[in-house]
Each structure stands twice: as C-alpha cells, then as structure tokens.
Amino acid sequence: MAGYIARRLLQAIPVLLGTTFLIYFMVFAMPGDPIVALFGDKTPPPQVLEQLRERYNLDQPFIVQYFIFLGNIFRGDLGTSFSGQPVSDILVTTFPVTLRLALMAVFIEMVAGITIGLISGLRKGGIFDASALVVSLILISLPIFVIAFVAQYIFGIQLGWFRTTVGPGAPTQDLILPAIVLASISFAQIVRLTRSSVLETESQDFVRTAASKGLARRRIVPVHILRNSLIPVVTYLAVDFGVLMVGATVTEGIFNVPGVGRTLYQAIIRGEGPTVVAFVTVMVLIYLVVNLLVDLLYAVLDPRIRYAK
C-alpha cells in the first residue's frame, strides 16, 4: 500500500509539470496584450507600456517567463496580482470558502441522493420511483445557471428565506442556497446511480441468501444492499468533490461567493496571468490528491480490490 502511494505521488510530478506548462502556455498564447487592455479604450504612451511589461516579465520570451514562474513557485512565491496582493494570500482566503461550499454541496447531494435513490430502487416502478425519475431528469437537463437564477429569485428575493447573495465573510447559512444549487445536478445523478446499483445488488445471491435465512428486511437493506451498492456512488461523490473544489464558476458568480471559481473567472477576464496559473496549479494538485484518495477508497469499500506492488 505504502509503495503504491509513493508511486502515485511520484507520477504526480510530471503531471504537475506538464499541466502547469500547458496552462502557462495557454495563458501566454492568449492573443491580446493584457497591459494594453488595462488602459481601456485609451492608448497609453509606449514607454509606460514597456515599463509595465518589464515588471510582469511580459517582455521576456515565453520559455524564460515559464522558468521564472517555476523557480518562484519552488521558493513559495506564487507572484502578485495586478492589485498588488500576493497570489498566495488570495489562495488562502478563497480556498476555505470553496472548501466549505463543496463540503456542504457534497453532503446535501449524498444524503438526499442516496436516500431517494435507495427508496426508488427498493420500490421499483412505484409512484415514488416514477416521480424521482421525473425530478432527476428535469434537474439533469436544466443548465446550472437556470437553476441558480430561479432558486435565487424564488428563495432569495420572493420568499426571503435566504440572503440573495453570500454576505461578507461567507457565513455558512448564506452558503446553503448555493450549495443546494450545486448539489442539485449531482443529486440527480446520484439518485439514478444509487437506484440502478441497488437494483443490481438486490438480485445478487447473497441478498437472497440473507432473506431466505430469515433476516429482517430492515437489516438486509442497510447492511447487505446499501453497503454493496455504494461503491460506484462513492467514486462519483469523490470525483464530484474534486470538481467542486476547483470552483463552480457560474454558481459562485451568481451568488457572489468569494471563492476560487469567482476569483479565477475575474482573473481570466482581466488577463491576470500569475493569478490564473497559480490557481490552476493548486487545482491540479487538489485533483491529483482527490483521485488518489478515490482509488484508495475502493480498496476500503471492496476487499476484492488490492493494490499490490
């Protein structure tokens, strides 16, 4: 196991280098000069442009810029945004917010999705199953910004149950509505996933054996059916957590969540190379770690999976 983890971590190094290079290349290759755009419709004197390019190393060839960036990263310096804030400070303030939002969303979709999916699976073809199918299909087919705007309008503006956007400091109660919106789409997927998995498990021999040896239904369902149905769901949840951690740009924008997605979006719009690259680098790291954890989780849930040498 330890050897496996070490090998995976080693593999992560070239992945990280490759992705940062690609990202840096794409940001660099983005046509248009961000320094020119900084002045809006006005054309600044060329000397001023030159000075600013020099400050952000934009006057160097691309490959030099990349190595300057890489060198700085190893020294723990992620650069500064145009507003003079160290990018590491921005990371420190935004990631916890997104982490809380992601945890809440995953929690909501897990509890609601597994519960409803389980009931649907156990009462296949019933009214509950049918309505769960309709609801989940609607949620899956709606774009997230539609769900977000509708939820904001109904629950925030009309009913006043929630604050319309997330207030200063991103208090947890303000994050509930965006978390529900984020959870809604994955929730529908989890319902479908759990349902089919439950159906499959229910027809397995060990479930019939348990029933025929006289075990109570309320013991068979959670112990024999649910546990064995959870493997694909857990994978899905973990991957979804990774996706949410790297920022839900649209939802964070609509609810003005001061998290990773909104900050990255703004940095892209403003052409702030250092911020974009630093954020994406951290995102890649998170994604790599989450994926490793998912693989390890398999072994915990399913004893048949073993990671040998």
By CB under 8 A, what part of segment 87-126 binds other proteins? 89-90, 93-94, 107-108, 110-112, 114-115
Residues 6+ apart with CB under 8 A from 224: 201, 206, 207, 210, 215
Strand partners, 86: 80
- Candidates 71-79, 120-128, 250-258, 283-291 — which segment interacts with other proteins by CB under 8 A? 250-258
Which of 184, 189, 263, 281 is close enough to bind other proteins by CB under 8 A? 263
User: What is the C-alpha to C-alpha distance for residues 105 and 83, in angstroms, rounded to an integer?
Assistant: 31
By CB under 8 A, what part of segment 151-170 binds other proteins? 152-153, 156-157, 160-165, 167-170
Contacts of 4 (CB under 8 A, 6+ apart): 307, 308, 309
CB 245 within 8 A of CB 290: yes
Sequence-ordered list of residues with C-beta below 8 angstroms from that of 6, at least 6 positions apart, any chain: none
In the region spanning residues 36 to 75, those forming contacts with other proteins, defined by CB under 8 A, are: 36-45, 47-48, 51-52, 55
In the complex, least distance from residue 43 CB atom to other proteins, rounded to whole angstroms: 4
Q: How far is the CB of 36 from other proteins (least distance, A)?
A: 5
Site size for other proteins (CB under 8 A): 73
Among 269, 304, 308, 309, binds other proteins (CB under 8 A): 269
Kindly tell me which residue out of 105, 122, 188, 254 binds other proteins, with binding defined by CB under 8 A.
254
Angle at which helix 273-301 crosses helix 62-74, to 10 degrees, equals 60
Quote the least distance from Cβ 72 to other proteins, whole Å.
18
d(CA 105, CA 168): 20
